[in-house]
């Protein structure tokens, strides 16, 4: 009788362990796979079945964050085997929420990375003048852009990114994840810092 109880207990523990492993894997898979698929850079890279993925939670209204963003982008441009995921989050500070919506709306016209570049360097308000000039520069449909900013798709994308940030317990920016390691640096990120972080993840 005791043996049967022992077997039952061990079976339950094993099932719980498997469930926990699957749950953790699904958690990180969700973080790495945004609803807005156009925010993924190098999605078709040679992944060797286990690609290194960097996920950044982007705040376009933070100069300190912009410097970090550029370092991450430069690194992934030079390392096409690394998958990079940008998750613009509608933070409540300043113009961050509106800028997140604008870049996601541009993504619906295939212009996410163009708008990302502009907003990383731009510190002013997202007003009519900015939208019309940027839309003209990158040959976007201005009326569609303005409609999409407050549309259901952009709302869904922004909420998905905000939810991912909350699930990780992120409270400050800049914030990014390399593999399963979360970083919220309190000093400017340098390329050498990033290379060291990547090596730590790769050598686990």
Q: When comparing pLDDT for 203 and 134, which is higher?
A: 134
Helices (H), 42-190: 63-78, 96-107, 112-121, 128-137, 142-149, 152-167
DSSP, res 81: T
Contact (Cβ atoms closer than 8 angstroms) between residue 31 and residue 177? yes
* % of the chain at pLDDT higher than 70: 83
The residue whose two tokens read 């390392």 is 79
Tens of pLDDT along 120-149?
999 999 999 999 999 999 999 999 999 999
Q: What is the pLDDT of residue 16?
A: 41
Report the predicted TM-score, pTM, of the whole model to 2 decimal places: 0.84
Confidence tier at 3 by pLDDT (50, 70, 90)? low
Q: Is 139 left (phi over 0), alpha (psi -120 to 50) or beta?
A: left
Residue 19 pLDDT exceeds 50:
no
Helix, strand or coil, per DSSP, at residue 23: helix
Pick the residue with more confidence: 26 or 160?
Answer: 160
Average pLDDT for 88-94: 90
Q: Is the peptide bond before 174 cis (omega within 30 degrees of 0)?
A: yes
Domains of the chain: 33-202 (3.40.30.10)
Across residues 188-198, what is the average pLDDT? Answer: 94
Closest of 120, 104, 121 to residue 112, by C-alpha: 104
In Å, what is the CA distance from 196 to each residue of 193, 200, 201? 5, 6, 9
**Residue 25 pLDDT > 90, yes or no?**
no
Q: Is 13 exposed, middle or buried (0-12, 13-18, 19+ CB in 10 A)?
A: exposed
pLDDT at 183: 96
* N residues, the chain: 204
Per-position b or e across 116-143, b if 16+ CB within 10 A of its CB: bebbbebeeebeeebbeebbeebebeee
């Amino acid at each position: 009788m005791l043996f049967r109880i022992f077997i039952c207990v061990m079976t339950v523990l094993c099932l719980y362990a498997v469930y926990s492993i699957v749950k953790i894997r699904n958690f990180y898979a969700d973080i790495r796979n945004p609803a807005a698929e156009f925010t993924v850079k190098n999605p078709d890279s040679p992944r060797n079945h286990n690609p290194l993925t960097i996920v950044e939670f982007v705040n376009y209204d933070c100069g300190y964050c912009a410097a970090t963003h550029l370092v991450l982008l430069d690194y992934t441009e030079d390392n096409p085997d690394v998958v990079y995921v940008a998750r613009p989050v509608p933070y409540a500070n300043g113009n961050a929420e509106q800028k997140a919506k604008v870049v996601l709306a541009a993504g619906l016209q295939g212009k996410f990375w163009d708008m990302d570049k502009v907003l990383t360097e731009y510190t002013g308000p997202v007003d009519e003048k900015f939208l019309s000039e940027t839309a003209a520069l990158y040959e976007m449909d201005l009326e569609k852009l303005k409609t999409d900013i407050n549309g259901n798709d952009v709302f869904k994308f922004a909420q998905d990114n905000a939810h991912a940030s909350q699930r990780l317990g992120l409270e400050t920016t800049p914030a990014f994840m390399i593999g399963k390691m979360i970083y919220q640096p309190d000093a400017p990120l340098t390329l050498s810092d990033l290379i060291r972080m990547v090596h730590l993840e790769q050598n686990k």
